[in-house]
Structure 1
Amino acid sequence: MTPSERWQQRTEWPLIGIALAFLVAYAVPIVQPSVSARVVHLCDVVVVVSWLLFAADYLIRLVLAERKWRFVRSNIVDLAVIALPLLRPLRLLRLIALLSVINRSAANNLRGRVVVYVTGGALLMLLCARLAVTAEERNVPDANILDFGDGIWWAITTMTTVGYGDHYPVTTTGRFVAAALMVGGIALLGVITATLASWMVERVREGNDADQAATRSQIDQLTARIEDLHRELREQRPAPVGVEADVAAGPGHAPR
């Protein structure tokens, strides 16, 4: 195992904890706008510290990587997520850092947890999208996404491609979030559908394999029993009459 892989294995759960703390700190001022200034300041500190820890994780992985340019090229999104939120209009990209950490952790344990991963990913994307849109839209003139409930309804109708049109973003940032939710939502829902279908096919195949194995076992048992019956019949079959008389007459008697 390379040093980079060991680092990722050791920091997997701590980074997930940091990501969840980041999500809570980001969500509290949006869900409850009436919280005190002290709570808002504390949440801002948690968000900034979490983002700095994400940046430190990226730099450490870069230092431990054997081929640094290859690491940079294969982690362009991580680099953008770390660098671009320094610009205030792009601060929402910190939410992508959260998704990136969860995605990297789940990818290492994807086998056997696909349904949990894609379902959790869909719910997490839904939550991040509605938080981001609510934060950007509710104080804008002519906006129709004014609170967290409106954001939930908008995110669900957008992600499921229903799109009633009663709520929609009017800001440029909100529309970018909507576009990302549309693309990501369709992809994740497609993965969920494909995964469930694959699971059903696998269960049916396992059932067929079990039935075939049982049938083969029964056929083998029947074949063995038939061979035993043939053997018993051969042993119990009487000899021809002429042969029995010759045997009874003794070795000195000439056959007829």
Structure 2
Amino acid sequence: MDDDSPQARWERHTEFPLALASLVFLASYAVLVLDHGLPAAALDACRAAMLAAWALFGADYAARWRLSGQGPRFVRRHWLDTMVLVLPLLRPLRIVKVYEAVLRRRGQPSLALQARVIFYAGLSSLLLGFAGALAVYQQERGAPHATMRTFGDAVWWTCATLATVGYGDVAPVTPWGRVIAVGLMGCGLALLGAVTGSFSSWLLQVFSREGEGEEKPPGS
């Protein structure tokens, strides 16, 4: 059965508004990083939009904390949500929670549910990659001996990092750029694990059903 607790109902009702707030936050951050020709009023509007989205994330976190009835244990049990609150650019990582819900689901998860996890993980990878490219480009541009001279270089590096390839032709040289690199490596492994885990689970489910069909005697 679906969870009908107050916290679960709150999360279902706020999922779409928070997704929109995440897009607003990311779009505003992208404008601040990439467009330097905007007037001061437009840049202030972007900063205000980011702060408003962040305030919504904080209100959601506080509401779920209160509805959970767990007290301080909520922070420890929902460490991923805490990370996302501190760094809203990590919100695409919430797909990991969807994958964990699939694993906890009673019975065999359906193909439709597995496909949704794979789709959301792929979409999250794109959003997280874009956010990571923005963050590392903001740190690397103009730095001495930097190899990321354009945003395109940052996107190329981010794709190689999330795919766990790491060509090494472009790499961050600033301390914060390297911190972001370590975070993206971990995020890439987490999202890759969600996709491969869901796909493997679906394959095992298909093979198990085929095996059960072959074992049934004729006419049964």
Q: What is residue 251 of structure 1 aligned with on the other side? A: none
Deviations 1:211-243 (A, max 9, x none): 555x522xx6xxxxxxxxxxxxxxxxxxxxxxx
Task: Give the CA deviation at 1:208.
Answer: 4.0
Does the aligned pair in 1 maintain the 2:99–2:198 contact within 8 Å?
Answer: no
SS of 1:68 mapped into structure 2:
coil
Match of 2:92 among 92, 95, 99: 99
SS of 1:216 mapped into structure 2:
coil
Match of 2:42 among 39, 52, 57: 39
Does the aligned pair in 1 maintain the 2:162–2:189 contact within 8 Å?
Answer: yes
Written as runs of structure 1 = structure 2, the 5 A alignment for 1:171-186 is 171-186=174-189
Query: Structure 1 residues 143 and 136, CA, compared in 2 at 3 Å: closer, same or farther?
Result: same
Deviations 1:59-87 (A, max 9, x none): 122222322122233234544554x5xxx
Match of 1:3 among 1, 6, 11: 6
Identity between Structure 1 and Structure 2 (%):
35
Does the aligned pair in 1 maintain the 2:139–2:176 contact within 8 Å?
Answer: yes
Which of structures 1 and 2 has the larger relative contact order (alpha carbons within 8 angstroms, sep 6+)? 2
Query: Structure 1 residues 78 and 196, CA, compared in 2 at 3 Å: closer, same or farther?
Result: closer
Does the aligned pair in 1 maintain the 2:148–2:171 contact within 8 Å?
Answer: yes
Q: What is residue 136 of structure 1 aligned with on the other side? A: 139
Query: Structure 1 residues 68 and 120, CA, compared in 2 at 3 Å: closer, same or farther?
Result: same
Does the aligned pair in 2 maintain the 1:19–1:101 contact within 8 Å?
Answer: no
Structure 2 residue 29 is matched with structure 1 residue 26: yes
What residue identity is the alignment partner of 1:206?
R
**In structure 2, distance between residues paired with 1:205 and 1:52:** 47
What residue identity is the alignment partner of 1:216?
P
Aligned length: 207
| Between 169-178 and 35-44, the greater mean CA deviation after superposition | 35-44
Structure 2 residue 101 is matched with structure 1 residue 69: no
Task: Give the CA deviation at 1:128.
Answer: 1.8
SS of 2:37 mapped into structure 1:
coil
The runs of 5 or more residues in structure 2 that have no matched partner are 104-108
Structure 2 residue 159 is matched with structure 1 residue 151: no
**In structure 1, distance between residues paired with 2:14 and 2:102:** 14
Does the aligned pair in 2 maintain the 1:144–1:168 contact within 8 Å?
Answer: yes
Q: What is residue 187 of structure 1 aligned with on the other side? A: 190
TM-score by length of 1: 0.69
**In structure 1, distance between residues paired with 2:137 and 2:170:** 11
Written as runs of structure 1 = structure 2, the 5 A alignment for 1:118-133 is 118-133=121-136
Q: Give 1 or 2 for the bigger CA radius of gyration.
A: 1
Written as runs of structure 1 = structure 2, the 5 A alignment for 1:218-233 is none
SS of 2:218 mapped into structure 1:
helix
The runs of 5 or more residues in structure 1 that have no matched partner are 85-92, 221-256
TM-score by length of 2: 0.79
**In structure 1, distance between residues paired with 2:23 and 2:159:** 21
What residue identity is the alignment partner of 1:99?
P
Q: What is residue 172 of structure 2 aligned with on the other side? A: 169
SS of 2:72 mapped into structure 1:
helix
